[in-house]
Structure 1
Amino acid sequence: MTFSKLSLPSWLNLLVRPSISSQLMLFGLIITVVFILLAIFCPLLTAWGLIPDPTDLLSNNPLEPPESRHWFGTNVRGYDVFARTLYGSQAALEVVLLATTLSLIIGVPLGLISGYLSGRVDKILLFLMDTIYTLPGLLLSVTLAFVLGRGILNVAIAVSISYIPQYYRVVRNHTTSVKTELFVEAAQAMGATPTRVLSRYLFFNVIQSVPVLFTLNAADAILILGGLGFLGLGLPEEVPEWGHDLKEAMPDLSIGIWWTTLFPGLALTLMVTGLSLLGEGLSEIFNPRLHKK
């Protein structure tokens, strides 16, 4: 008697026979979870006295090297680099969640409506999204941040504008192909309204790639936030943010002060790497055929 090989789901197959990509995804997941936990529990650790106040500069001497009191040293203003590096994950997480959520809330419904209705609505939305998509994302974010001003919400809006066309295009293309399926035509024949068709029959069938896009956009949003902070267009100066701290630390390199740039830059690199590895792993799970090709 012979038994045929059982076909396992892609995510279970990765757990049973882990590949290099799945191991890298796990590594990225660990990095991402660590930064999320830091962002959540930093205020509690400060209340317990385990982390110094990141806004306190009167109690410290400027440019102290790393030692027992200041593990990562202090910067030119006297801020504790260790505290500001950890609290930088909080600012990054807030902006990233706001930016990606705003772009998802706007881009997904527009993609559904455009792909389902087609016609003139589809042409207008497609032209508008293609126009936004052709503009460099960083340049568009810099322009909006300059107009809107500093602040978490303003920066999130400036960052999110370049991601809306990505969600729109992915969802629209899937909607265009799925709306011709028999179950959609059957629902329409039974008198289902367009709103019901979109929400019940199409939505969950066209968002398979959205989690992957969400994760990759989160990594890109951190880089854009760092760029805005480096240009002085990000968050207020008193808010710990890696890009702004790197901007203030750049002159220190010429006099041999390395710790003020190393640790914020390392934190920025690690968080982007973790989210990128997680996104690539999710892409392999949701789109296994693409990776096989």
Structure 2
Amino acid sequence: MTPTKLPLPRFLRFKGHSSLSMIMMWVGIAITLLFVLIAFLAPVFQSWGWVQNPKEFLNNPVHEAPSLSYLFGTSRQGYDVFSRTLFGSQVAWQVVILATALSLLIGVPLGLLSGYLGGRLDRILLFFMDTIYTLPGLLLSITLAFVVGRGIFNAAIALSISYIPQYYRVVRNHTVSVKTELFIEAAQAMGASTWEVLSKYLFLNVIQSVPVLFTLNAADAILTLGGLGFLGLGLPEETAEWGHDLRQALEALPTGIWWTTLFPGLALTLMVVGLSLLGEGLNEFVNPKFRQ
């Protein structure tokens, strides 16, 4: 006789949903896919003087207002704002996917092991994770950005540290509640190893909240990355990053140069809103408390 697995996690079996959740879901999906498309199309506009402003683009007009030649105008460095806004989406996705993936790959396994094995390992991990969790995320990212230096991968590391405890806590708490189920005890009685219990019987039943957490962390990571860029940290200055572009644009805003602030700021806001709506829409499917 082999131990019986739970059929499927509840969020995969759920059929009913409210119209509001569907609206949030589809609007979030549409905005998110739009920025994915923008990131892929960004290289098409590379010839417009995009990221590093090489010598052939140094003659671009400075603070040129939006026109047919420069759709979003130009900055005080001669950058084409349209191209940098598009490439900002590509850079944001690179950093955000790396940061959230690192957090997930570290936090989920640690949460599974901690919740299942318990004991001293659980107490030690809880202490360290709770310590990190109590620190303000932006302040922690700023400190780590000083330590690891600039670059896409380094920025992802600086962002991911504050998200690891969130994955750990969610997965660990679910593991503690699920490991007492009869099908887990049956698997243990049949001689299943720790790895088999974790991978075959626990994993799919404790990750209900991970998709929601992933999207919400992605939205938060974009804001944090923009904050680092605004402070002059995270990525090299020549990289097309919305926070850095906003920092440069604020100096010209009092003189009526509005376009260098509007378009990067609007792109950052829309991407965060899209991921947040997607996360909130998913949350109704995952969390029974929000179901009608």
TM-score by length of 1: 0.91
Question: What does the per-residue CA deviation read over 1:204-239, in whole Å, with 9 as the maximum and x for residues that have no partner?
Answer: 110111000000000000000000001111211121
2:36 partner letter: I
Q: Give yes or no for contact 1:150–1:234 (8 Å, CA) kept in 2.
A: yes
Between the aligned partners of 1:11 and 1:189, the Cα distance in structure 2 is 31
1:35-46 counterparts in 2 under 5 A? 35-43=35-43, 45-46=44-45
1:53 aligns with 2:56: no
Q: When the two structures are aligned, how many residues end up with a matched partner?
A: 278
Which one-letter code corresponds to 2:180 in the other structure?
Answer: T
Task: Indicate the residue corresponding to 2:213 in structure 1.
Answer: 213
Aligned equivalents of 1:188 and 1:53: distance in 2? 58
Deviation at 1:10, TM superposition (A): 7.2
Cα separation, 1, equivalents of 2:50 and 2:290: 46
Distance, in Å, in 2 between the alignment partners of 1:112 and 1:238 is: 41
Cα distance in 1 for residues equivalent to 2:196 and 2:20? 42
**Offset of residue 38 of structure 1:** 1.1
Read off the aligned partner of 1:96 and give its amino acid letter. V
**What amino acid is aligned across from residue 227 of structure 2 in structure 1?**
G
Aligned mates of 1:190, 1:87 — CA distance in 2 = 54
Query: Which position in structure 2 is the counterpart of 1:94?
Result: 94
Question: Which residue is equivalent to 1:199?
Answer: 199
1:82-138 Cα offsets, whole Å, 9 max, x none, are 000111000000000000000000000000000001111110000010000000000
* Alignment RMSD (CA, Å): 1.5
Take 1:291 and 1:161, find their aligned partners in 2: how far apart are those partners?
29
Amino acid at match of 2:290: H
Determine the structure 1 residue equivalent to 2:251: 251
Match of 2:143 in 1: 143
Work out the CA distance in 2 between the residues paired with 1:41 and 1:100.
Answer: 23
Give the equivalent residue in structure 2 for 1:4.
Answer: none
Contact residue 10 and residue 285 of structure 1 kept, 8 A: no
Higher mean displacement: 31-40 or 57-66: 57-66
Question: 4+ runs of 1 displaced by more than 2 Å?
Answer: 9-14, 51-57
Q: Provide the C-alpha distance between the structure 1 equivalents of 2:88 and 2:265, rounded to a whole number of angstroms.
A: 11
Map 1:123-272 onto structure 2 (within 5 A). 123-272=123-272
Report the equivalent of 1:291: 290
Please say if residues 285 and 291 of structure 2, whose CA atoms lie closer than 8 Å, have aligned partners that are also in contact.
no
Residues 269, 242 of structure 1: CA spacing in aligned structure 2 closer, same or farther, 3 A cutoff?
same
Aligned to 1:26: 26
**Which SS does the other structure have where 2:66 is aligned?**
coil
Any unmatched runs of 5+ in structure 1? Answer: 1-8
SS in 2 for 1:249: helix
Aligned to 1:116: 116
Q: Aligned to 2:16, which of 10, 13, 17?
A: 13
Equivalent pair of 1:249/1:260 in contact (CA under 8 Å): yes
| Cα distance in 2 for residues equivalent to 1:127 and 1:10 | 35
Q: Deviations over 1:182-205 (max 9, x none)?
A: 110001001111111111110111
**Cα distance in 2, alignment partners of residues 46 and 169 from structure 1:** 43
Match of 1:77 in 2: 77
**Paired residue type of 1:165:** P
> What amino acid does structure 2 have at the position aligned with 1:158?
A
Preserved contact between residue 216 and residue 275 of structure 2 (Cα < 8 Å): yes
SS at 2:16 equivalent = helix
Question: Which structure is higher in RCO with an 8 Å CA cutoff and minimum separation 6?
Answer: 2
